[in-house]
């Protein structure tokens, strides 16, 4: 079945009839409008970062993100839909909502990964020129934890037979790096009025306004949050979730393309980053058991990804591709 294609007229009708009335009810402009960029890679827990902007703003603060706008496309529930058609429509709706908020002085939080740093900083500057107070909120979550989060979410959707979009590791990692580039840019240029870095547990590790000495230290705070060491409890939960989703994935009659690669990378990260930092004696029964289980799963997964490969040397070291974190994972 072909994907329903929306022409410009149909897209505009959905925008005017469904989207704008839902996101921007009423006509009154905010007397002190705010524009907040909420940044973090997929799976980082960005929703936690929206808590303070909501609490500090007037009632009815709008949170915009492309994921929710996808639901307005007629092909959203069609698993065979042309993703480029849906993405094109969503991009247009998101731009229109941003423009509406700016022109009508409505406070808004724009949520995303923001790979194009100059473009997103330019958007904040346009809002500032219209009298908005601007802010950047970045959620600092480790690569390992956010990658497991999106992988687990995808497999839960598969299990529930819901429409599911496979996360791409390269896209996830690009988004991870983009958070650092964005903070570095704002740290140097001061393109917003306030910068806040939030750890995955919701604690602020950096919060400063432009009236203070500046945003120096914001980048270091983000790197620290993204590489903070897990507690033993959180690390154990992370490993338990990894093994749970792996058991489900290998039980499928046909593992979805790309899932094996994600799980291989996560198991390599577990052996390199998580298990050695479990706050338990190395070589103890618990550590040995979890290492053996992880290695066994990794062997199976590597065989599923490269079925024609030769025998795997279990005595060989686990090599993890160079990643953005080197200080463990954090919640």
Dist CA 153 CA 164 (whole Å)? 9
Element (H, E) at 194: strand 194-199
Q: Starting from the edge strand earliest in sequence, which strands make up the sheet with 204-209, in order?
A: 62-64, 108-112, 34-39, 133-140, 194-199, 204-209
Is residue 288 in a domain? no
pLDDT band at 318 (very low <50, low <70, confident <90, very high): very low
Is residue 244 in a domain? no
Between strands 204-209 and 133-140, the pairing is unpaired
- Domain hosting residue 51, numbered range: 8-142+163-226
Contacts of 74 (CB under 8 A, 6+ apart): 4, 6
Is residue 64 in a domain? yes
Instruction: Estimate the crossing angle of helix 259-269 against helix 169-189, to 10 degrees.
Output: 60
The position carrying tokens 């909120």 is 137
Between strands 194-199 and 204-209, the pairing is antiparallel
**Sign of the torsion formed by the C-alpha atoms of 138, 140, 143 and 149:** negative
CA-nearest of 271, 218, 188, 252 to 39 is 218
What tokens were used for 131?
């009298």
- Could you tell me how many residues make up the chain? 331
pTM of the model: 0.85
Q: Decide which of 14 and 6 is more confident.
A: 14
User: 232-269: per-residue pLDDT in tens?
Assistant: 899 999 999 999 999 999 999 888 889 999 999 999 99
Is residue 120 in a domain? yes
User: 171-183: per-residue pLDDT in tens?
Assistant: 999 999 999 999 9
What tokens were used for 244?
């749970």
Dist CA 220 CA 144 (whole Å)? 19
* Domain count within the chain: 1
Where residue 217 sits, what CATH number does that domain have? 3.40.50.300
Burial label, 83 (beta-carbon count in 10 A; 0-12, 13-18, 19+): exposed
């Amino acid at each position: 079945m072909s994907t329903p294609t929306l022409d410009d007229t149909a897209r505009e009708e959905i925008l005017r009839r469904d989207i704008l009335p839902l996101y921007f009810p009423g006509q009154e402009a905010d007397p002190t409008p705010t524009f907040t960029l909420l940044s973090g890679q997929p799976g980082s827990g960005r929703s936690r970062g929206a808590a303070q902007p909501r609490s500090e703003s007037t009632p009815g603060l709008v949170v915009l993100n492309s994921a929710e706008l996808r639901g307005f496309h007629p092909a959203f529930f069609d698993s065979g839909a042309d993703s480029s058609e849906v993405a094109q429509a969503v991009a247009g709706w998101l731009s229109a909502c941003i423009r509406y908020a700016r022109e009508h002085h409505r406070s808004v939080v724009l949520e995303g990964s923001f790979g194009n740093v100059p473009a997103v900083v330019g958007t904040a500057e346009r809002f500032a020129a219209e009298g908005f107070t601007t802010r950047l909120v970045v959620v600092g979550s480790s690569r390992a934890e956010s990658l497991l989060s999106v992988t687990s979410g995808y497999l839960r959707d598969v299990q529930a037979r819901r429409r599911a979009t496979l996360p791409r590791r390269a896209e996830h990692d690009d988004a991870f790096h983009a958070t650092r580039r964005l903070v570095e840019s704002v740290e140097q240029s001061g393109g917003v009025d306030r910068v806040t870095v939030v750890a995955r547990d919701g604690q602020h590790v950096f919060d400063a306004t432009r009236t203070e000495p500046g945003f120096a230290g914001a980048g270091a705070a983000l790197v620290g949050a993204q590489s903070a060491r897990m507690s033993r409890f959180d690390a154990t939960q992370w490993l338990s979730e990894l093994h749970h989703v792996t058991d489900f994935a290998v039980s499928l009659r046909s593992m979805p393309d790309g899932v094996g690669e994600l799980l291989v990378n996560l198991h390599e990260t577990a052996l390199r980053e998580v298990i050695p930092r479990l706050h338990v004696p190395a070589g103890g029964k618990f550590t040995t058991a979890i290492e053996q289980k992880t290695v066994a799963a990794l062997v199976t997964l590597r065989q599923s990804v490269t079925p024609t490969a030769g025998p795997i040397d279990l005595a060989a070291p686990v090599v993890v591709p160079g990643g953005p974190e080197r200080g463990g994972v954090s919640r």
